[in-house]
Structure 1
Amino acid sequence: MIGLLASIFLFLIIAFRTNRNITGNQIVHIWLFTIAFQCTFDVFVEIKYDGYWYFDKEIEWIDLLPHLFIIPPVNMMFLNWYPFKRSMYLKGLYIFLWVIGILIYESLTLLPQPFGYFNYGWWKLSYAAVLDPFLFIFLLLFYKFICKLEKASS
């Protein structure tokens, strides 16, 4: 629980204090998209197939904290600092470095409680290593879609 609360505090502070590029409207879209996408994925991998879980295998109210307050600010930071106007090489390197950071963080969440709060069933860190780049690309596509909608409405 200590690790979760410290992460929430740290990620929220960094995400909102360093934000220079993402509008309020975009933040709301990113936040809701992230929660919906993560919850949809977790319904299958976490609940139906016991791939991983937060705290205990049972569904509890506390499980909402990582869903609501961990990944959305991380996605904000990723998009805020993304090198949109740079080369494909730098964009790829940026995604690669973020995946490494996410994998390190996920490894830390696997520590025993009170510092860790995440547990593996059959899921492995290598699965996240393969999946995370695609999730970042999907997030980027969604963000570009939101930006296009904003331009069309103004």
Structure 2
Amino acid sequence: MIGLTVAIVIFNFIALKIRKRLSLSQMAHIWAFTIAFQTVFDVYVDFKLHGYWYFSKGVDWNSFFALIFLVPPVNVIFLNYFPYNQELWKKILYIIGWEMGLLLYEAITLFPEPWGYFHYGWWTLWHSLFVNPILLMILVGYFKWICKLDKRSTVKTEMKY
């Protein structure tokens, strides 16, 4: 539990203190999308396939805190610095850098308690190596879609109540 608490404090502090390129609306979208998407992914891989779990098998409140307060700020940090208008090779290098960081962090979460809180069933770091970039690209795709919707939905006249 100590490892999760420390990670939540550090990642939320960084997400709140970095120079932001994202609007509050965009961050709220990312936060909500991350919670929904991770819930669906975890329900399938954790509960149905028993590939991995947090703290203990089954539903527990500690994994709820990981879901709500750990991954969303990491995604906000990732998207805040993503090289959107750069060459493809810079985007690939950015994702590779994040992948290395994510794999290192996942390895740390496998430590015994109180520092670790993540446990493998059949899942391995190799699975994460191949799945993480796909999940990151889904996140980028969702964010680009939200940005397009924001541009299209600009109200040109003031609404009266």
TM-score normalised over the length of structure 2: 0.94
Please say if residues 82 and 91 of structure 1, whose CA atoms lie closer than 8 Å, have aligned partners that are also in contact. Answer: yes
Please, which runs of 5 or more residues in structure 2 have no aligned partner? 155-161
Partner residue of 2:157? none
Matched, 1:62 2:62: yes
- Report how many aligned residue pairs link the two structures: 154
Gaps of 5+ in 1: none
1:117-128 alignment to 2 at 5 Å? 117-128=117-128
Q: Which residue of 2 aligns with 1:107?
A: 107
CA distance in 2, matches of 1:16, 1:146: 21
Query: Could you tell me how far apart the structure 2 residues matched to 1:4 and 1:19 are?
Result: 25
Larger Rg: 2
Q: Percent identity?
A: 45
State the TM-score, normalized to the length of structure 1. 0.98
Displacement of 1:19 = 4.0
RMSD: 0.7
Find the aligned partners of 1:87 and 1:127 in 2 and give their Cα distance. 28
2:150 corresponding residue in structure 1: 150
Partner of 1:93: 93
The whole-number CA distance in structure 1 between the counterparts of 2:36 and 2:18 is: 25
Aligned amino acid, residue 25 of structure 2: N
1:119-142 CA-to-partner distances (Å, cap 9, x unmatched) read 000001100000011111110000
- Moved beyond 6 Å, runs of 4+: none
Q: Distance in 2 between matches of 1:137 and 1:3?
A: 27
